[in-house]
Amino acid sequence: MAQTVTELNQQANHYQCYQYQDIPTKFNASKTNRIGDITCLTDKNWSIGFTGKTNKGNHGWSQFNTRDMDGIFYATVLAFKKNFQLDTVKNINIMPLLAQILGLHITTLIDGKLDIMKPLLK
């Protein structure tokens, strides 16, 4: 497997390939079995394909290389300040915010932090 990744990376132009155990930790991929033995990540605006095959879609590129993969969160609820805009935050912080508004108790450890989203609340 390592030899294959090495060969892929030697000819790489606008992408980088990794063995499963070597995927950078920022992708949080080490805790799932949904990722193959080899993962290749492209640069912004690039995709990987095969000659003669029609591209029927792709997943995109790393969210860490560009802001193009950012999500947008709009909300109109009495709990939120009107016409307030918060700087970019990680999506994981939305769950504790919604739990707070709905009066739900989070009973397991999560990565999101309510404190980051509190400026949105009245």
Torsions phi, psi of 116, nearest 5?
Answer: -70, -30
Torsion of CA 38, 33, 108, 116, to 10 degrees: 20
Per-residue pLDDT at 106 exceeds 70: yes
pLDDT at 56: 62
Average pLDDT over residues 102-110: 94
- Beta bridge mates, 80: 121
Tell me what pLDDT residue 108 has: 93
Helix (H, G, I), strand (E, B) or coil at 119: helix
Does the pLDDT value for residue 80 go beyond 70? Answer: yes
- For residue 18, the model assigns a pLDDT of 93
The maximal CA–CA distance of the chain, rounded, in angstroms, is 57
Q: Residue 39, CB half-sphere, CA atoms under 13 Å: how many?
A: 17
Short-list 122, 118, 60, CA closest to 89: 118
Euclidean distance between CA atoms 110 and 104, whole angstroms: 14
So where are the chain's domains?
1-69, 71-122
Query: Looking at the domain 1-69, which fold is it?
Result: Gyrase A; domain 2 (3.30.1360)
Instruction: Please state which of the ranges 18-22, 57-61, 65-69, 93-97 shows the lowest mean pLDDT.
Output: 57-61
Contact 14, 42 (CB under 8 A): yes
